[in-house]
A and B are shown apart, each in its own frame.
Chain A
Amino acid sequence: MKRALKVLNEMERDGVFARYAVGGAMAAIFYVEPFLTFDLDVFVVLPQTSGGLLTLAPLYDALRFRGYSEQENECIMIEGVPVQFLPAYNSLIEEALKEAQAIMYEDVPARVLRAEHLVAISLQTGRTKDRERVRILREQAKLDQNFLADVLKRHQLEDKWKLWTE
């Protein structure tokens, strides 16, 4: 994963995307006990296109240029890790990316979404596995309750939170 993160850092530096952060299961694992997952979800802020269209095509071109073209189930293999790129598709993801936590993975800098944003994204996505993710984050991550309350309010997720936690 270290090499994959290095590639992501290079791509951010080269302007392929404006900002990235690890999300999904691997981000949750940063805060809780390890559990099974097979891909690395990476949220990205893409540069503005003239037509305002959200497209990952330039990102895939940049990866191909770097020699990463092998695809597997919507993922691109980067240094042995299947990476799923997800553009910031709504205001919650945009905010989560903006406020992502800077970390060091051994000697490589990286970013991981905050635990409170992972909870909010799980609530918004709403699948069974998201419900389980909310449960384990509540149980094991040290959630900033005030910050979480603000996020839930801002993105109209308070009712869903109550439904899932009461």
Chain B
Amino acid sequence: MEAVDGVNVEIDRIFAAKEQRRQALARLPFPEKVRAVIELQKMAATILRARGKMVRSWNVSATNEESPRASRLSPTKK
């Protein structure tokens, strides 16, 4: 039982950290979130196009809305 409890403690810690991360993402300023969405669009567009669904990410490069920082945010797909 001790090993199982140890695993549960570790899993609980991972889930708590994931939840903290999601809460932190929710608190980002809106423009940061938009940058993250654009990064998600780029990732998803490649996959969706391969499946025959034509989508494209927002083309907002001229407005400085694409940021290398966004790719580090790792937002979740809903």
Tally inter-chain residue pairs, CB-CB below 8 A. Answer: 79
Determine the residue in chain A with the shortest Cβ distance to B44.
Answer: A36
- Contact call A105/B30, Cβ cutoff below 8 A: yes
- Given A3-B63, A34-B37, A79-B63, A105–B25 Cβ distance below 8 Å? no
Determine if B55 is an interface residue (Cβ-Cβ < 8 Å): yes
Closest approach, in angstroms, between the C-beta of B3 and any C-beta of chain A?
32
Which residues of the other chain, B, contact A31 by a CB distance below 8 angstroms? Answer: 26
Determine if A38 is an interface residue (Cβ-Cβ < 8 Å): yes
Determine if A1 is an interface residue (Cβ-Cβ < 8 Å): yes
Closest approach, in angstroms, between the C-beta of A129 and any C-beta of chain B?
8
- Contact call A33/B25, Cβ cutoff below 8 A: yes
Determine the residue in chain B with the shortest Cβ distance to A6.
Answer: B63
Residues of A59-79 whose CB lies within 8 A of B: 79
Determine if B9 is an interface residue (Cβ-Cβ < 8 Å): no
Chain A contact residues, CB within 8 Å of chain B? 1-3, 26, 29-38, 79-82, 103, 105-106, 129, 132, 136, 140-141
Closest approach, in angstroms, between the C-beta of B20 and any C-beta of chain A?
12
Contact of A81 among B33, B44, B58, B78 (CB under 8 A): B58
- Contact call B58/A80, Cβ cutoff below 8 A: yes
Determine the residue in chain A with the shortest Cβ distance to B39.
Answer: A34
Which residues of the other chain, A, contact B26 by a CB distance below 8 angstroms? Answer: 31-33, 140-141
Closest approach, in angstroms, between the C-beta of A150 and any C-beta of chain B?
25
- Contact call A36/B40, Cβ cutoff below 8 A: yes
Q: What is the bound-complex CA distance between A102 and B62, given in angstroms?
A: 25
Determine if B34 is an interface residue (Cβ-Cβ < 8 Å): yes
Determine if B1 is an interface residue (Cβ-Cβ < 8 Å): no
Determine the residue in chain A with the shortest Cβ distance to B25.
Answer: A33
Contact of A132 among B56, B65, B78 (CB under 8 A): B78
Which residues of the other chain, A, contact B61 by a CB distance below 8 angstroms? Answer: 80
Q: What is the bound-complex CA distance between A38 and B58, given in angstroms?
A: 8
A-B residue pairs in contact (CB < 8 Å), sample of 12: A2-B31, A2-B63, A29-B34, A33-B22, A34-B73, A35-B76, A36-B37, A37-B37, A38-B55, A80-B60, A80-B61, A82-B58
Closest approach, in angstroms, between the C-beta of B24 and any C-beta of chain A?
8
Q: What is the bound-complex CA distance between A33 and B59, given in angstroms?
A: 22
- Given A103-B30, A106-B31, A132-B78, A79–B60 Cβ distance below 8 Å? yes
